[in-house]
Structure 1
Amino acid sequence: MLEYVTRKYGAERVAQIITFSTLSTKSALKDIGRALGIDHNEINELNKHIPVIQGKPIPVSEAMEEIPAIQQYQARYPRLFELALEVESMPRSQSVHACGVLITPEPITNDIALIKGKEGERVASYEGEPLEKLGFIKFDFLGLKNLSVVEICRRLVEKRHGHLIDVDNLIPEDEKTFEMIRRGETDGVFQIESAGMKKMFQGMNKVDFETLIAGVALYRPGPMDYIPKYQSLANGHEEIPSLHPKYDVITRTTFGIMIYQEQVMMVAQQMAGYSPGEADVLRKAVGKKKKEILEPALEELYNRLVEHGTSAQVANKICDDIRPFAGYAFNRSHAAAYAFIAYQTAYLKANYPLEYMTALLQVFYSKTDKVVQYSKVAREMGMEVLPPDINRSDVGFSIDGENTIRYGLGAIKGLGDATFDAIIEGRTTPYLSGQDLIDRVPKKNLNKGSLTALSYSGAFDSFIEGTFNNRFEYMAYLLDIRGDKPDAELVDLIAKYSDRSKFEKERDTLGSYVSGHILSRYAEPVNWDELDEAVTHTMVSLVEAKVIRTKKGQDMAFLKVDTLEGEKSLTLFPSFYGPVKEALVPGMILKVGVKGSMNWQRNQKDFIITSITAPKKINKEIWKKIEQKQEEAFVQGA
C-alpha cells in the first residue's frame, strides 16, 4: 500500500507519521532516581505504591496528595519528586506510527519538516492530531499477516481436499470453532491468542460471535476492568440491571454495559434528542482523554437527557458510566471487523488444523519465538514437526504426510535464495546421497557454508542412517568429497559428540530446536505470559549477555536466553550480576528465579532475575574452559 500511494502521488507527497512515547509516573520516577543515584530497589518499592487505573499509573501530583506511603518517600527524596513533576508526560522517545500515513496535494516539505526513520522511512515530524489541526488528512494503513495465513491455508485446503473455502462469506455459527475458543486453544488466532484473551473466553459458559466482538473491544487498557462484570452477567451469575427502557434495548447485546462508541451515540440520539452529527461530536469528545473536552460534553448530555424525560438519577448514572470509558471506547464496527478475521482464523484452525498450522509457520518463519510457539502448539495438537530434508522440503514449511509439517529450506540460516532455488531446480529426481547433490548442483550455489548449514540443520539425516554416526561425521565426509579438510571446531565436535552439540548446531542453523531441546532434561514448562511478582524458578540457556554500566558505575546485564518456550530477554541487576559474571558464557545453562512486571509503555512484560546460579555438574565442559582461561590469565599475569 505504501509503495502504491508513493508511486501514485509521488514520494515528495507521501510520508509516514511520527509518534512519541511519553514518561509515565513510574518511568519518570525510575529515570530520575537513576540519574540521582538512588538505589533501583528503593525506586521499585516506591513504584509499587502507585496505583494503576485503567492501565495507567496515576499522576505524580495525585500520588503525592492521596497516598501516605508516597508522602513518606517525598519527605526522604524531595528532589526526586520535584523533578518528576516537571518531566512527567514529556516525550521520552520517538518512533514511526504503526499505520499512520500522510498524503498531501503539494510537496510535504512546503509546510512540514521531515525526518529519516531508522530504516530510511520519510517521516513527518508532527503527530497525527496536530497534523489534522493544520488541515492535513491522516490515513491509517493496517497490514495484517493473518490475512496471508488465511490465504495460504485456503490454498493448502484446496490442494489436499479439492475445494476452496469462501472465508469472506462464512456464517459465524460453527460450534466446533466457538468451543475451541472457549477452551482457550487460540494460539495463532488473530486478536485472541494472548493469555488475557484466553482467560476471558475460558471464563464464559458460552461463546458466540457477539461475545467475540465484545472480547475484541473489552481487552484493552480501560475497558478490561469490565471483563469480570461482563462474564458474570453473560454467565447469568448476576441479574442484568434495568436502567431505562431505551437504554436497556441499546445495551441488550452487552448485558447492560456500554462497550462501544456507537452505544454512546445511540443513547445521545434516542434518549437526548441529538442529531447524528451532534452524536458524532459527542463520540469524538468521549474518545479524547482530556477532561477539559470530556466534562463539558457530559454536562451537555446530562442536561439534554433530563430535558427529554430521563430522571436526574439515571442521567447521572449514564454519564458516570461513560466517564471511565472515555479515551478507550472502541467502535463496534471496528471490533466486528477484527472479530470476523478472528473467526476466520479460528474456523480454519478448528476445522483444518494441519493446513492452518502449516500456513501459520510459513508466514511467521522469520520470527523465531513464533516458530517455537507454533511448533509446540502443533505437537500438542498431535502433529509432528520435522527438520528440513533435502528431498522432501519446499522453500517454506510444508505438509509432509497425513499429520506432519516439514521445515522448509528457506528457514535454514546461511542458505541463500540462489542455493535453495538451485537445489529444488536440480531435484528432478530425488538426490541419492550428498555426492549426488554435489554432482548435480553447481559449485557456485553450494559452497562450504551452505553444506555446513544443510548438514547441521538435519537436511541430510536420510543419507546418514546406517552409514555414519552423526551429522558432524557426515559433514567431514562431504568436505572430503570436495577436497576440503575439516576445521578444528568440526574435529572437536566429532571427537566429543553429544546430543547437546547436535541440538545447539541445529538451533544455530534453524533458529530453534527441532529434533530435541538441551533443556528438556532439566526444565519444566513456564507460562511466561502469566508471570507476576511471585518468583518462578526455571532453567534457561544463555544466548548472549549485553553488559552495561549504571549511573552509579555498577555493571548489570540484559540476558538473551533460550527457554522451552523460545527466546526471552531477562534483566540482571548489579547485585546479582557480580557473583555470576564469569559464568555468562553463551551455551551456559543457568538456574534462575524470575518475576514478571508489565511495562505498559512498551506494552510488554519485563522479566527480572531475582536469583541466578550456573550449575557446575550440568555445565562441566564450559566450566572447564572458563577455569582453563583463568589459569592462563593468572600465569601470564605472574
Structure 2
Amino acid sequence: HAVYEMLSEGHTLAVFQFESEKMTEYLRQLRPRNLEELTAMNALYRPGPMDNIQEFIDRKFGRKPIEYLHPLMERRLKNTYGIIVYQEQVMQLVQDLAGFTLAQADTLRRAMGKKDEKLMAEQRQAFIEGAMRTNGIEPHRGGEIFDLIQKFASYGFNKSHSAAYAYLAYQTAWLKRHYTAEFLAANMTAELGKLEKINALIEEARKFGITVLPPDINQSLETFRATSPTTIVFGLAAIKNVGLKAVQSIIEARKADGPFRSLYDFCRRVDTRLVNKSAIEALIASGAFDRLGGHRAQLVAALDQALEIAKSAAVVAHGMDSLFGEDVLELTEPPLPDVPPWSKDELLSREHEVLNFFLSGHPLDAHAPLARALATMQLGKTDSLRSGTTVRCCGLVTQLRTKLDRSERPIAFALLEDYTGVGELILWNSVYETAKDFLRKGALVVAVGKLELRDDAATPRIIVDELLPLESAYDRIKTLHLRLDARSDPSILDRIASLGHGTKTTVALVVTILHKGETHARYHIPKLPLQLDSTTIAQLQQLVGANNFTLSAHEV
C-alpha cells in the first residue's frame, strides 16, 4: 500500500515509465491500488488510447457508468471498467462472442493493426455470422460490437508487454519508497551531466527529507552515495577536472592512513601526479574541503604553498627513511593565508563551474518569491506546454554570445537557468538593443516570449519579446499574501507596516489567519505602503518565515 500511496501522491520521479508530468497527474487522479491498474495505465498512456484515460478514471470512481454492448463482454472487460485496452482482450472477445478460434482471432488482430480494409470487411462479416450462430446476437448488434472492437483494437497494446513494464515500474517504485536515499543517489550517478535531471532529483530528495551534501574529501566515493536514510553525499568523480584515477588515489590514501586533517595533509598524502593542482582547485570550489577548516578563498590561496610543502616533505621523507627507517619527522603546517572569503555570488559561480549546477544555494534565492510569482513556466518542466505559447520565465544567464544578422545588426543567444533546468533565449536586434546594457553572463532576468519545443532538442527555446532585470520587476507585483497563525505575535503586522515607512509605493496586502491549520479569518488592506525589493523580501522572511508569504502579479 505504501508504494501505491507514493505513486498516488505524485512522487513518480525516476520511476520507470511513470515520471512524465502528464502521467504523474493521471496517477494522482487514478490513485492506483494494484498492478492491474498500473498495467492498464501503462497501455493507455500512448497517442490514441490516451483519450480514454479520463473515462477510465471516471468509471473507476463511479462518476460515469460502466456499460457493455452485450453481457458476454463483461467477463473480459471488467478489470478495465468496460474499456478495451489490450490486444488480448480483442482476441478473447471475438472468441467469446463469435466463436472464433485462436488462429482466427490472431488473424483479426493483425488485420486491425494493418488497417487492411478489404480484409477487415471479410472479418466483420465473419464476426457477425459467428455471433449470430454462436450466441444468437442479431446482425445489427453484432455489427455495433465489431465496430466498437475495431475502434479500440486499432491502438490496442499487448498486455504482456504492458504488464512487464508495469511490474518493472512497481519494482523501481518499491525501491524508491523503501530505500529512498539509495535509490535517488543511484539515479543521480546515472544522470550525471544532465542538469535538469540532477536538479529534479535533488529537489525530490528534499521532498523526502533527504539532504544532498556537497562533495566531502573524507566521505565521498567515486559516485553519489547514501550515508544514512536522510543523507546523500556527492560523488567526487562528478566534479569537473577530477578524473577517476585522481578519485581512486584519494580514496586509497584515505583508506591507508585515515581521514585527511587539512589541505596540507591532503597534498602530502595523495599522489599529486594524479591529483594535480587543477583537480585540487576544483575540489576546493566544489566544497569538498569545507569541513577541514578555513574558507574556500583561503584554501585556494594556500594551495601553491601546500603543494610545495608536500613536495619538500616527500624529499625529506625519502632521505630520512634512508637513514632512520620509517620514523619520519612531521613538518609543521603554516596557518592559512588571511584573505577575505569569496562573495556568495562568486562562491556559487565557482561551484557551478565545477559541478554544472548549484548545490549550496542558487542566485535566484534572494528573489525566489518574485520568480515564483512572475514565471508562467519552469525551464525543466515542459511536458504540459505547447509551442507557440507566450511564456514568462525567470533565471540566471549562464552563457551569452552575440553575432550579426543578415542586416549586420547585433543579435544575442543566451542560456537561462532556473531551479529546474535550462532554456535557450533568442533576442533579435530590436529586443537586444533594449537589453544590451544589462544582459551579461551572471545576470538575473525575466524573459517574456514565444516558446519553441523541438523534438530534436531537450532544451526549450524562447524567442524573446521582452527582457528586463529581475530586480526591476518588483513593480509588477500587485499583492502580498501573508499566512499567520492565530497565536502569532500581534506586533508582526506593525513591524511589516514599518518596512514601508517613508515610501509612496503601495501593494495590496491579504492576511490569512490560521487556527489549527484551518483558515480562521482573512483581512484585505488595499494599499499598504511598501517598496518591494530583495532587501524587503529578506526582512519578510525573517519576520514570518519563507513559507508564510507569497507575491502575486494579480490584483485581489
Does TM-score exceed 0.5, indicating one fold?
yes
1:200 correspondence with 2:26: yes
Instruction: Provide the C-alpha distance between the structure 1 equivalents of 2:427 and 2:443, rounded to a whole number of angstroms.
Output: 15
1:587 correspondence with 2:442: yes
Give 1:552 shift.
9.0
- Aligned partner letter, 1:266: Q
CA gap of 1:311–1:559, structure 2 versus 1, over 3 A, is farther
- Give the equivalent residue in structure 1 for 2:273: 444
> 1:184 touches 1:198 (CA, 8 Å); kept in 2?
yes
Instruction: Provide the C-alpha distance between the structure 2 equivalents of 1:548 and 1:498, rounded to a whole number of angstroms.
Output: 32
Q: Give the percent of matched residue pairs that are identical in Structure 1 and Structure 2.
A: 33
CA gap of 1:339–1:546, structure 2 versus 1, over 3 A, is farther
Give 1:578 shift.
5.0
Give 1:375 shift.
0.7
- What is the TM-score with the length of structure 1 in the denominator? 0.61
> 2:284 touches 2:299 (CA, 8 Å); kept in 1?
yes
Taking the TM superposition and a 5 Å limit, the aligned residue runs for 1:294-373 are 294-308=116-130, 309=132, 310-322=137-149, 325=152, 328-373=155-200
- Aligned partner letter, 1:302: R
Equivalenced residue count is: 427
- Give the equivalent residue in structure 2 for 1:517: 362
Higher alpha-carbon Rg? 2
1:480 correspondence with 2:305: yes
> 1:218 touches 1:224 (CA, 8 Å); kept in 2?
yes
SS at match of 1:233: helix
Structure 1: stretches of 5+ with no match in the other structure: 1-174, 485-493, 620-638
Instruction: Provide the C-alpha distance between the structure 1 equivalents of 2:102 and 2:404, rounded to a whole number of angstroms.
Output: 58
Instruction: Provide the C-alpha distance between the structure 1 equivalents of 2:4 and 2:145, rounded to a whole number of angstroms.
Output: 33
CA gap of 1:222–1:365, structure 2 versus 1, over 3 A, is same
Give 1:537 shift.
3.0
Give 1:580 shift.
3.2
- Aligned partner letter, 2:57: Q
- Give the equivalent residue in structure 2 for 1:613: 467
SS at match of 2:364: coil
> 2:218 touches 2:259 (CA, 8 Å); kept in 1?
yes
SS at match of 1:340: helix
Taking the TM superposition and a 5 Å limit, the aligned residue runs for 1:513-592 are 513-523=358-368, 524=371, 527=378, 528-529=381-382, 530-532=384-386, 535-545=390-400, 559-570=414-425, 572=427, 576-577=431-432, 579-580=434-435, 583-592=438-447
Instruction: Provide the C-alpha distance between the structure 2 equivalents of 1:578 and 1:566, rounded to a whole number of angstroms.
Output: 27
1:236 correspondence with 2:62: yes
- Give the equivalent residue in structure 2 for 1:130: none
Structure 2: stretches of 5+ with no match in the other structure: 310-338, 474-556
Instruction: Provide the C-alpha distance between the structure 2 equivalents of 1:317 and 1:571, rounded to a whole number of angstroms.
Output: 54
- Give the equivalent residue in structure 2 for 1:54: none
Taking the TM superposition and a 5 Å limit, the aligned residue runs for 1:21-36 are none
Give 1:330 shift.
1.5
- Aligned partner letter, 2:298: E
**Cα shift readout 1:103-125 (whole Å, capped 9, x = no counterpart):** xxxxxxxxxxxxxxxxxxxxxxx
- Aligned partner letter, 1:612: E
SS at match of 2:118: helix
CA gap of 1:271–1:545, structure 2 versus 1, over 3 A, is farther
RMSD: 3.0
- What is the TM-score with the length of structure 2 in the denominator? 0.70
- Give the equivalent residue in structure 1 for 2:347: 502
CA gap of 1:306–1:328, structure 2 versus 1, over 3 A, is closer
Instruction: Provide the C-alpha distance between the structure 1 equivalents of 2:147 and 2:365, rounded to a whole number of angstroms.
Output: 53
- Give the equivalent residue in structure 2 for 1:281: 107
Greater Cα shift, 427-436 or 198-207: 198-207
> 1:388 touches 1:406 (CA, 8 Å); kept in 2?
yes
SS at match of 1:444: coil
CA gap of 1:585–1:610, structure 2 versus 1, over 3 A, is closer
**Cα shift readout 1:578-604 (whole Å, capped 9, x = no counterpart):** 5435655332222113565665x5597
CA gap of 1:312–1:480, structure 2 versus 1, over 3 A, is farther
CA gap of 1:305–1:278, structure 2 versus 1, over 3 A, is closer
- Aligned partner letter, 2:100: Y
Instruction: Provide the C-alpha distance between the structure 2 equivalents of 1:616 and 1:252, rounded to a whole number of angstroms.
Output: 55
Give 1:246 shift.
2.7
> 1:549 touches 1:555 (CA, 8 Å); kept in 2?
yes
- Aligned partner letter, 1:477: A
Give 1:542 shift.
1.7
SS at match of 1:399: strand
- Aligned partner letter, 2:13: D
- Give the equivalent residue in structure 2 for 1:211: 37
